[in-house]
Structure 1
Amino acid sequence: MSKPQEYSKVPVAAGDDPSSSATVKVYGRRWPMLLIFSACMLVNCFQWVQYCIVPTIVAGYYGVGSTAVDFTSVVYLLVFVPCIFPVSFILDRLGLRWATLLGAGLTAVGSWVKVFSAAPDRFAVTFTGQALVAAGQVFQLTSSPRMAAVWFGPEQVATACSIGVFGNQLGISLGFLLIPLAVGTHRLADGGLDAAAVGRDLSRMFYTVAGVTSCAFVVALLFFRSEPPLPPSVAQARQRGGGPGADFGGSLRRLLANSSYRLHLLAYGINVGMYNTLCTVLGQLVVNSFQNEEVFAGRVGLIIVLVGTFGSMAFGYILDKTHKYKETSLAIYVFTLLGWIAFSLSVQSQSHVLVYISATLLGWFMGGYMPVGFEVGAELTYPEPEGTATGLLFIPPSLLGLLFTLLLGQLTAVLGDLWACLALSSFLVVGCGLTAAMRRDYRRLAANRGDSPQDGKPAGTTKL
C-alpha cells in the first residue's frame, strides 16, 4: 500500500484556534475498502434484472403475467420508500461498516431464499427472496457517497463515488449479459417451454449467485471498516467534529428547506427514474420488435449499463478536476434526452446496428448521471450526513420509476411502443429545466478551500 498522504493540522471549527484542529491523512487502504464495497454492490445489483431480462421464460415457467415479472424489478424501487429513513439512520448512527454488512447480509439471505424457488408453483418464494435482496440494495446505494467521503481526499472523492457506483452498474450489466445465457428458452416442438430444463437452469443460477453473495458477505465481515483513524479532508474533519448533521430529524428539515437541493431531488428523480424504467422494460421493448431475441435484449442492456459505468467514472474525474457540478449535470441531462429519443426510434427500425449505436449514446450519459447526482447532492447539503442526503435522493427515483413503468405500459397499449417512449421523454425536458434553475451552491468545496462554518450554519458557499 502507498504511504499515507499527510497534511498540516487544519482548523475544524470557526477561527484559527489550535485546539480546534486535526491532522488530515489519506490512507492507501482506501482502495481495498472501495473494492470490497463495490463487490458487495455488484452481487446485489446483478439480481435486479435476474427475471425481467428473460420475461417470456420467467412468465411461462412460473405461470404469471408480464406485470408480475416487471415487479421483480420494480420491487427494488418499492422497498426504498419504507426502508430509506431507517437505513439512513443506521448509516449515520452506526457507521459505514454496519450499513455495508447489513446490505451484504440481506443480499446473501435473499439469494439463498431463491434457491428454494426453482419450481413452477413457487413464484411467491422467488419474489420474497428478491424483496430481501432489494432491501439490501437500500443500504448499499445509500452508502456510496459516504464511502467516498470518509475514505478519500477532496481531489478523489467524485472519482471514488463513481467507482463505488461502478459495482452497481457492472452488476446490472453482468446480469444483462449472463442471465440470458444461463437460462435457456428450452422450447418444445409445440412452442411451449420445457419446464424441467428451465427449472434446472434456474436452480443452477440460484445456487451460484447464493454462493457468490455469501463469499462477498464473509469478506466484508472480515476486512471492511467504517472509516480510517484520521479524516481524509478538511470537510470530513469538520464533520467528525460535530455540527448540524448530528441531529437526524433536524438534518431532514434542513435538507428539505434547501431550495437548490429540492430542485436537484426532482431532477435526479426524473433521470434515475427513467433509467430504472428502461432497465425494467428493456427486455419487453426489444423482444416486441425483435421476436424471440432475448440474448440480443441482454446484449443491448449490457451496452447501456457497461458504457454507463465508464461514463460515470469519466464524469467523476471531470468533477474532481473542474468542480463544474451544475454544468456537468446539465450537459449530461441534455444528451440523455437526445439519447432516449434516438434509442426509441432505433428500436423500431429493426436494425441491430442502430440499436447498438443509440444504446451506447444513451448508456454513456444516462448511466453516467448517478454518481454525478450523488456528488451534486453532497455539495449542496454539506455538512449534513451523506447518508441522509443520499437517502432522500433515492425516494423520487423509486416513486417516479414505478410511475413511469406503469405509465409506459398504459401508453404502449394506446399509442404503441415508439410514441409511448417519445411521450415519456417529456419528463427529461422537465429535468433539464430543473437542473438549469439550480444555484451553484457548493458548500463542501468551500469547506475544503478553507471557509469556516459560523453559528452552526453550513461551511460557506462557492458560486462559480
Structure 2
Amino acid sequence: MIRVKMKDEIKLSKHRFLVLILYCLTNLHINSQWTQFQVIADIFRPYFGVTNTDIDWTVTIWCPIYLVMCFVSAYCLDKFGLRSCLLMASGFNLFGSAIKYYSIIYPDFLVACLGQSLVATGQVFNFFLPSSIALTWFPAEVASTITAIALFPMFFGNGLGYYLPSLAVPDGSSPSVQKMDLERFFLYYTLSASLLYFLNLFLLKNRPKYPSSLASAKALAENTEFIESWKVILTNRLSNFILITFTFLQTLANVVLGLLSPMISKYFPNQNILIGIIGAIASLSSVFGSLILAWVTDKTRKYKLVTLISSILMVPLFGLLIYSLEMGSKLFVTIVIALLCFLVAGTYPIGMDFIVQANYPMSESVCVTLMMFSNQLISWPATVLVSYLLQYYNLYYAFSPFLLMLLIALITVLFTKDQLNRDKANSDTENLIKVTD
C-alpha cells in the first residue's frame, strides 16, 4: 500500500523551472566577478597602487574561502535546505558587491579584497546546489543534464567576467574617465545583486510538495545523519577513486580559466580586448562542453567511458596550446583554448553527478562538499605554482603541473566503474510498485 501511495505522489512541480532560473541567475552574477580585477589589471594597478601579484590574489583568494566555508555551507544545506543556502549565497553576493563599489569610490585595495572574499563566500553556498536541485526538483533520468544546466552560468559568468570589464573600462582613456567608468560598472553590479536577492527571497521554495522521482522519495525516506554520511562516503573505495579523478580534472579547469589572462598577456601584451574575447569564447565553450558531455552521459550512462575519452583528448590539446602561443597566432590560440575548455569544463557536471550516484542515498551535499574541498585544496597551490612558473619561466615549465594532474586522473579513472546506485534504486522501486499493482 505504501508503494502504491508513493507512486501516486510522484509529481513534477511547475515551480521547478523557476527554481532553476533563480539559481542560474545567482550563479551567473557571482561567477562573473571572479576574474574582473585581473582582466583589466593594467588599469587597477595604478588605480590601487598595487602589483600584478596583488591583483592575482583577487582570483586565488577564492580558494581559501572555499576551504574554510565549504563544510559550513554543506551543513546548512543538509539542515536548512536549498532555499536558505541560495539566500545566503545571494546575500553574501549583495554585500560583497556593495563593498567593492565602496572600494572604487574611495580607492582601497584591501576593501576590494574584502568584497571579493564575501562574493566568494556566496559562491561556496551556491556551489553545492546543482546536484540538490537535480535530485529534488527533476526526474532522476535527467540529473546529469540538469546539473550541467545549473552549472553552465558558472562558465558563462566567467566569460562575462573576462569580457565586461574590458568593455566597460576601455584602454586609453584618462584616469578621471576610467574612475567614472569603474564607479558605474560596480554600481550596476550592486543594483543587480540587490534585485537577485529579493527575487530569491520572495519567489524561491525549499522543495516541491511531492517528490520528483522515486529515487528522490527514497532518499528523503532514508535520510542519513550528516556525520554518518561522512563516514560512509569516506570509506567507499569507488567514491575515493571518483574523487581523485575529478579533483584533478576540475583543478585543471580552475587553473586554466583562472590564469587565462596572464597566460595570454605573456604572449600578447597590452591587449585587454583580446583577453576579454578569448576568455568569453573559452567560457562559452565550457558551457557547451558541460551541456553536451552531460547529455551524452545521461543517454549512455557511461560515466567512466566519457571521462576517459575526454581526459585522453586533453593531452594533445595542452601541447597544441603551447605551440599556438609560441606561434603568436591569435586565431589558433582561440581555437585550441576553446577545444580544451570544452573538454576540461565538461567534466564538472559528470563528476558531481557521478559521486552522488556512487554514494546514493547518502546526502548529496556531503558528496559535493568532499569533491569541492579536495578540488580547492589542490587548486590553490596549483594556481600559485603555475602563476609563478608563467611569470619567471616558460610555458613548458608552467604546463608540467597540468600534465602531472592529467596523468593522475587518467590512472585513477581506470579503477572506477559505473556503479549507479541512484539509477538502480529508481529502477528497483519502479519494479516493486509494478509488482504491488
Same fold by TM-score, threshold 0.5 exceeded? yes
2:50 is the alignment partner of 1:64: yes
Q: One-letter code of the match for 1:439?
A: K
Give the AA of the match of 1:203: E
Q: Which moved more, 1:227-236 or 1:51-60?
A: 51-60
Distance 1:392 1:22, change over 3 A: farther
Contact 2:134 2:140 in 1 (8 A): no
Offset, 1:66? 1.6
Partner of 1:224: 204
CA RMSD of aligned residues (A): 1.9
User: What's 1:403 paired with?
Assistant: 381
More relative contact order, 1 or 2 (CA 8 Å, 6+ apart): 2
Q: Secondary structure at the match of 1:228?
A: coil
Shift of 1:410: 3.4
Q: Provide TM-score, normalisation by structure 2.
A: 0.94
CA distance in 2, matches of 1:423, 1:389: 26
Structure 2, unaligned runs of 5 or more = 431-437
| Residue 267 of structure 2 is aligned to residue 267 of structure 1 | no
Q: CA deviation at 1:414?
A: 5.3
2:287 is matched with 309
Scaled by the length of structure 1, what TM-score is found? Answer: 0.88
1:320 alignment counterpart:
298
Aligned residues: 430
Change (3 A) 1:89 1:303: same
1:379 aligns with 2:351: no
Which residue, out of 4, 13, 21, partners 1:35?
A: 21
For the Cα contact (< 8 Å) 1:62–1:122, is it kept in 2?
Answer: yes
> In structure 2, what is the equivalent of residue 456 of structure 1?
none
Deviation at 1:221? 1.0
**Contact (CA 8 Å) 1:341, 1:422: kept in 2 or not?**
no
Query: In structure 1, what is the equivalent of residue 434 of structure 2?
Result: none
Does residue 83 in structure 1 map to residue 63 in structure 2? no
Deviates more, 1:130-139 or 1:356-365: 356-365
How do 1:248-259 and structure 2 match up within 5 A? 248-259=226-237
Correspondences of 1:113-132 after superposition (within 5 Å): 113-118=99-104, 121-132=107-118
Q: Is the 8 A contact 1:24 1:233 kept in 2?
A: yes
Q: Distance in 2 between matches of 1:10 and 1:300?
A: 56
The Cα of 1:153 is off from its aligned counterpart by 0.2
Deviation at 1:113, TM superposition (A): 0.7
Structure 1 residue runs without a partner (length 5+): 1-8, 12-17, 188-193, 453-464
CA–CA distance in structure 2, aligned partners of residues 439 and 50 of structure 1? 39
Q: Which moved more, 1:93-102 or 1:398-407?
A: 398-407
Q: Is the 8 A contact 1:62 1:120 kept in 2?
A: no
- C-alpha deviation, 1:331, in angstroms: 1.7
Sequence identity, in percent?
A: 25
Higher helix share: 2
Query: Is residue 419 of structure 2 the alignment partner of residue 441 of structure 1?
Result: yes
Aligned counterpart, 1:426: 404
Instruction: Indicate yes or no: 2:341 matched with 1:341.
Output: no
CA distance in structure 1 between the partners assigned to 2:210 and 2:55 by the alignment? 47
Counterpart pick for 2:139 among 153, 156, 176: 153
- How many Å separate the matches in 2 of 1:60 and 1:266? 41
Pair 1:186 & 2:164 matched? no
Which string of whole-angstrom CA distances, capped at 9 and with x for unpartnered residues, describes residues 227-257 of structure 1? 11111111110111134x2x11111111111
**In 2, Cα distance between the equivalents of 1:61 and 1:339?**
37
Partners of 2:12 and 2:315 in 1: CA distance: 38
Q: Is 2:117 the counterpart of 1:139? A: no
The SS at the match of 1:156 is helix
Report if the CA contact (8 A) 2:96-2:118 is conserved.
Answer: yes
- The structure-2 alpha-carbon separation of the partners of 1:302 and 1:413, relative to structure 1 and needing over 3 Å to count, comes to closer
